[in-house]
Amino acid sequence: MKQDEFSFLGNLDIETIEALYRDYQKDPNSVEKSWQQFFRGFEFARHEFSPQLPPETLDKEFKVINLIDAYRKRGHLFTKTNPVRTRRKYFPTLDLENYGLGDDDLDTVFHAGKEIMIGPAPLRTIVDHLRQTYASTVGAEYMFIRNPEKLLWLSHRMESTRNVTTYSPEQKKEIFMHLKKAVGFEKFIHKKFVGQKRFSLEGAEVLIPALIATIEKGSALDAREFMIGMAHRGRLNVLANVMQKPYENIFKEFEGEAYEEGISLGDVKYHLGYVNDIKTISGQTVRLNLAPNPSHLEAVSPVIEGLSRARIDHKYGGDFRSLVPVLIHGDAAIASQGVVYEVIQMVELAGYKTGGTIHFVINNQVGFTTNYLDGRSSTYCTDVGKVTKAPIFHVNGDEVESMLHTVEIAMEYRQRFHSDVFIDILCYRKYGHNEGDEPRFTQPLLYKAIASHPNTRDIYADHLLEEGIYSKEEILQFERDYNDILEGKLAASKELKKVYIQRFLKEDWKGFRYASLSDFSKHIDTGVTREKLLKVAGQMNRLPEDKKFIDKIIRLVEDRKKSITENRLDWAMGELLAYGTLLTEGFPVRISGQDSIRGTFSHRHAGFVIEDTDQQYIPLKHLDEAQAPFEIYNSPLSEYGVLGFEYGYALAVPGGLTVWEAQFGDFHNVAQVIFDQYISSAEEKWGLMNGLVCYLPHGFEGQGPEHSSARIERFLSMAARNNMHIVNCTTPANLFHILRKHLYANYRTPLIIFTPKSLLRHPKCVSTLEDFESDTFHEVIDDPDVDVEEVRRVVYCSGKVYYDLQARKEEFKARDIALVRIEQLHPFPIREVQKIHKKYRNNLLSLWVQEEPVNMGPWRHIQQEMAGIRPEPVTRQASGSPATGLTKVHLMGQEEIIQKVFRKCDCELKNIYCGLQCVVGSSRKEILKQHQYFRKN
């Protein structure tokens, strides 16, 4: 293919352009966006032209403008940003010929130079300026941005400086000191802890001065706090040389001895978090938070965003400039982990905005062993950033000054426009995935190049030598001095007895303690006076008179008022009253989930849309002037990202109620990583408490395999040592009390609530005002409708199935059957259950009834927890899929369960509920044996 077939302007005749230009003059929007930019530049330059310019000169001016446009758009494809590999080839190149220009034009002065801030200049100067700005050590992708203000700001910022900052000798010395530490730290550990995993930063040491520049620049632009999330690579170096975690504590972790108290299991050293207040060069104190994170790459990203948002909301009064989220990604992870996309989609939304995240990528061009060519289809690993049209800079990791210059631009942009920025650090990985891994198995060629490649410190030292800033001897002495410091710290670490893990955000959690088993059975007074209940309900059920609402909303509010006067409060009232009372008592409340404002099942209606508008009236925001903030958001259609976000949010607001709601309980499994790696395990790994509440709609109503089960069994298999509070409430009042208890407790654990669907409107699933006034949360609800002496069968169950059983019990007037509801599944209220078990002394048979198949639901957990009582299971039969999609099959299955519970004995000892074993066909001997068994037990 001939070169000029690729040419942009070269293969367009001038008449076509002129025609387009005429259109543009009539209406700029009538031509395509890139042509608008082109003509805008052209007119700018043309200001200087004499109207009598010969058409050929005019044509060339156009071509130069087109060349400028090409550098802006595609210069990044021709940069020298890869320190150890030659880049892939891209066409068309930026050669003059491809733009209808040639060497003969190099000395011609073009007015188009004004477009790039240098004024009329020879083409040679223009090209030189463009190369330096767009195709040297920094590649900038930004021309896809649609906001003209952002676009102009970026081109101006880069072109006016040729995309370089000239640092003073003092600044250069400072930069060298950071590089010296970044390189020296890794070398020291490599020598002292041979073969131990540390996921060294070598090859990407420039990250350390880059982060320090982020903090310095950010703080000069009003940032007071940084929330940092990163994976394994270089984390120890960041902890030591950015977070200023004491070296001796890090060295101690290499010895792997016991932890100090408070941490039971702990975690590997390159997952731990840290918080520190440090002083910037200008003397400003800033807070740095590095969140702990699991191995699961990118899982920390939504958590950082939630933490950041919570701080912005609660500490900085909504000021995005005060806190900057910083995410450090690996190239393979950012390109392929879906949660990155979820996070990027979220952070421009009202409920999730954090004012722009600075994303760094340690782009060492390899995953574990997987080459970048096998790791992604996109050109750049950062292409996901284009979803929100964020500017993306690709920087040569060997060029520390270019790096710092880019950081300055990124931080200025973030503080000005409050949107994301990406900095892709092109670098390499000195060793294998970890230090014991042999990279030459998989990348022999690359590693040959890496082996002889000098490190960033030495490259920069050479610059400083050349510039006469330091002598060789001085540089060597700096390195020796730093090494001596580390030797001292290593000796000090030997004196330490145990590994110290600083609890992340310890200060914010003052006043809270870890939960103990007895907490879960302790009754906290969570009742609310009638006067207050009525006051809150009155505000909740008030529509502003000056606004119009559709009839259905007016009727709904009337029904809610009626439920108060009739003293029959449903689930929605129980839930909203919990929020309302908590808000007036000073507890902030935040709820997010898919369609949560109205509620998937149309029960909540926390916001009323004003007729013929898109505005909402949210009554819980208008309770009284002193109330705490109430926020409720419909989340984007994401589970992993949003749950991670809310987990982070709850982490930063221990005194608030933060709720994540799954649309149907099943969908929580899309966010399984957050349940496994944070919610259930963060306390044991990192000593982290968290009070996040998760609503997981659960219940078998014939809605099919994916809309029935919230997989209770999975939560119970994760539950141990008070790590989570798991409940399945059957009354509005019990929900009300558990939410209030959760906030009034001075310990925090995640609270998993299996919430109902059909019960939301079930006429029996109501509570009275008295239940809200004087009662408390019940872990177990005994059957109020029995005569203890009469009871022959005790049926334990949890959740919605209770109402199905209760209906049949009423129908049969079966007062000899007691229905006992287990409202708290973990920690299991065994004492309470035992008390009930003993109370029914004439009981012949204990049953556990659940709607789920025997291999799902709480059964296996119940079997263990109630081993002493030995209930017989009544369940659906084992299956791989939780539920049927056919309504009739569902109803038959449900009926079978209910019938089993209420079946009278077919055997000769009629009228005794002796158990499922007495089915037709059992021999008399067997039956008698069964009966004896039941009597004895």
Ligand X SMILES: Cc1ncc(C[n+]2csc(CCOP(=O)(O)OP(=O)(O)O)c2C)c(N)n1
Applying CB under 6 A, the residues found at the interface with ligand X are 233, 295-297, 330-333, 362, 364, 366-368, 429, 433
What the block records as the tokens of 214 is 């982020």
> In sequence order, which residues have a C-beta less than 8 Å from that of residue 741 and are 6 or more positions away?
524, 526, 776, 777
- Residue 333 touches which of Mg ion, ligand X, none (Cβ within 5-8 Å per kind): ligand X
Task: Give min distance, CB of 317 to ligand X, in A.
Answer: 36
Task: Give min distance, CB of 595 to ligand X, in A.
Answer: 28
Task: Give min distance, CB of 447 to ligand X, in A.
Answer: 14
Please say whether the beta carbons of 840 and 891 come within 8 A. Answer: no
Nearer to ligand X, 316 or 372 (CB): 372
- Residue 605 touches which of Mg ion, ligand X, none (Cβ within 5-8 Å per kind): none
Task: Give min distance, CB of 758 to ligand X, in A.
Answer: 37
Closest CA to 235 of 214, 266, 260, 204: 204
Nearer to Mg ion, 332 or 897 (CB): 332
- Residue 295 touches which of Mg ion, ligand X, none (Cβ within 5-8 Å per kind): ligand X
Nearer to ligand X, 82 or 884 (CB): 82
Task: Give min distance, CB of 645 to Mg ion, in A.
Answer: 25
- Residue 296 touches which of ligand X, Mg ion, none (Cβ within 5-8 Å per kind): ligand X
Q: 545 to each of 535, 548, 844, how far by Cα in Å?
A: 18, 8, 61
CA 468 to CA 475: how far, in whole Å? 12
CA 515 to CA 781: how far, in whole Å? 23
Nearer to Mg ion, 289 or 364 (CB): 364
Task: Give min distance, CB of 381 to ligand X, in A.
Answer: 8
Amino acid at 165: T
- Residue 680 touches which of ligand X, Mg ion, none (Cβ within 5-8 Å per kind): none
Q: Specify burial of residue 392 (Cβ count, 10 A radius: 0-12, 13-18, 19+).
A: buried
Closest CA to 100 of 74, 70, 75: 70
**Residue 702 in contact with Mg ion, rule: CB under 5 A:** no
- Residue 897 touches which of ligand X, Mg ion, none (Cβ within 5-8 Å per kind): none
Nearer to Mg ion, 297 or 719 (CB): 297
Nearer to ligand X, 298 or 305 (CB): 298
CA 556 to CA 263: how far, in whole Å? 50
Task: Give min distance, CB of 340 to ligand X, in A.
Answer: 11
Please say whether the beta carbons of 856 and 709 come within 8 A. Answer: yes
Q: Specify burial of residue 304 (Cβ count, 10 A radius: 0-12, 13-18, 19+).
A: buried
- Residue 230 touches which of ligand X, Mg ion, none (Cβ within 5-8 Å per kind): none
Task: Give min distance, CB of 331 to Mg ion, in A.
Answer: 4
- Residue 471 touches which of Mg ion, ligand X, none (Cβ within 5-8 Å per kind): none
Using the 8-state DSSP alphabet, how is residue 393 labeled? E
Nearer to ligand X, 111 or 376 (CB): 376
Q: Helix and strand tally (H, E) in the chain?
A: 31, 24
Site for Mg ion in 328-347 (CB under 5 A): 330-332
- Residue 794 touches which of Mg ion, ligand X, none (Cβ within 5-8 Å per kind): none
Please say whether the beta carbons of 276 and 243 come within 8 A. Answer: yes
Task: Give min distance, CB of 231 to Mg ion, in A.
Answer: 10
**Residue 364 in contact with Mg ion, rule: CB under 5 A:** yes
Task: Give min distance, CB of 685 to Mg ion, in A.
Answer: 24
Which residue pairs, CB below 8 angstroms and at least 24 apart, start in 531-536? 532/581, 532/584, 533/577, 533/581, 533/769, 533/772, 533/773, 534/564, 536/577, 536/580, 536/581, 536/584, 536/623
Closest CA to 306 of 658, 724, 721: 658
Task: Give min distance, CB of 84 to ligand X, in A.
Answer: 14
At residue 848's C-alpha, the angle toward residues 846 and 854, to 5°, is: 140
- Residue 851 touches which of ligand X, Mg ion, none (Cβ within 5-8 Å per kind): none
Longest dimension (CA), the chain: 118
User: Which span sits near Mg ion by CB under 5 A: 89-97, 299-307, 360-368, 826-834?
Assistant: 360-368
CA 160 to CA 158: how far, in whole Å? 6
- Residue 368 touches which of Mg ion, ligand X, none (Cβ within 5-8 Å per kind): ligand X
Give me the sign of the Cα torsion angle 661, 665, 670, 674. Answer: positive
Nearer to Mg ion, 273 or 330 (CB): 330
Nearer to ligand X, 242 or 515 (CB): 242
CA 47 to CA 25: how far, in whole Å? 15
Task: Give min distance, CB of 200 to Mg ion, in A.
Answer: 13
Nearer to ligand X, 295 or 937 (CB): 295
CA 115 to CA 126: how far, in whole Å? 10
**Residue 439 in contact with Mg ion, rule: CB under 5 A:** no
Three state DSSP letters for 209-257: HHHHHHHHHHHHCCCCEEEEEECCCCHHHHHHHCCCCCHHHHHHHHHCC
Site for Mg ion in 293-332 (CB under 5 A): 330-332
Nearer to ligand X, 242 or 726 (CB): 242
Please say whether the beta carbons of 153 and 413 come within 8 A. Answer: yes
- Residue 80 touches which of ligand X, Mg ion, none (Cβ within 5-8 Å per kind): none
CA 756 to CA 416: how far, in whole Å? 46
| Size of interface with Mg ion, in residues (CB under 5 A) | 4
**DSSP for 526-569, written as a single string:** ----HHHHHHHHHHHT---TTS---HHHHHHHHHHHHHHHTT-B
Nearer to ligand X, 200 or 584 (CB): 200
Task: Give min distance, CB of 458 to ligand X, in A.
Answer: 22
In the chain, % helix, strand, coil (3-state, to 5) comes to 45, 15, 40
Please say whether the beta carbons of 226 and 218 come within 8 A. Answer: yes
Nearer to ligand X, 331 or 713 (CB): 331
Q: 117 to each of 35, 156, 751, how far by Cα in Å?
A: 20, 8, 59
What is the number of the residue whose Cβ is closest to ligand X? Answer: 330
- Residue 535 touches which of ligand X, Mg ion, none (Cβ within 5-8 Å per kind): none
Closest CA to 777 of 813, 816, 743: 743
Nearer to Mg ion, 332 or 400 (CB): 332
Task: Give min distance, CB of 398 to Mg ion, in A.
Answer: 17
Nearer to ligand X, 331 or 342 (CB): 331
Nearer to Mg ion, 440 or 472 (CB): 440
Task: Give min distance, CB of 456 to Mg ion, in A.
Answer: 17
Three-state SS for 324?
strand
- Residue 661 touches which of Mg ion, ligand X, none (Cβ within 5-8 Å per kind): none
Task: Give min distance, CB of 330 to Mg ion, in A.
Answer: 4
- Residue 819 touches which of ligand X, Mg ion, none (Cβ within 5-8 Å per kind): none
- Name the site residues for Mg ion (rule: CB under 5 A): 330-332, 364
